[in-house]
Amino acid sequence: MKIEITNYIQVGDQKEVVHQAYEAEQRQKGDFTYFLYKNEEGEKVVLKFKEDELVMTRFSTPQSIMRFVDQKQVPVGVHTPMGLQQFISQTDSMQLDISAQTLVMCYQLLSADGDSVFAEYDFRLTWTDEGE
């Protein structure tokens, strides 16, 4: 299985596009689809998703967990060189299309008090079977 993640990021007036591709293992458990892979730093990463929710767990030291729920605000903690940063993820839209093998999500990271936008994201996940 090959997965590709493209994240269009806007912080203030600065824009960046991050594109990553990984070999991944796919598993299904109940309503959730899981992708397990190793990132550029060699850390194990798990993407767990269903129709209205995505959880990204990075098994780094310390471990990072980000959760996104369609049309909801959820507290998240992101480990940075400056230590643990507290944010709120606000997911404005999430579209999962299993037959097209895509998950598209628009979200913002808000300050911990929810008063200001730290960054805006347009996240796209696609996957293909090895034989395609």
Residues with Cβ within 8 Å of 58's Cβ and at least 6 positions away in sequence, in order, are: 39, 43, 44, 45, 64, 65
Give me the pLDDT at residue 18, please.
96
- List the domains of the chain with CATH numbers: 2-128 (2.40.128.20)
Question: How much is the pTM?
Answer: 0.90
Give me the pLDDT at residue 81, please.
77
Torsions phi, psi of 116, nearest 5? Answer: -140, 155
> What is each CA distance from 61 to 7, 13, 58, 79, 114, in whole angstroms?
23, 31, 9, 9, 27
> What is each CA distance from 83 to 33, 92, 131, in whole angstroms?
31, 27, 42
Q: List average pLDDT for each run of 10 residues in the chain, which is 132 residues long.
A: 96 96 96 95 95 93 89 88 87 96 96 90 94 56
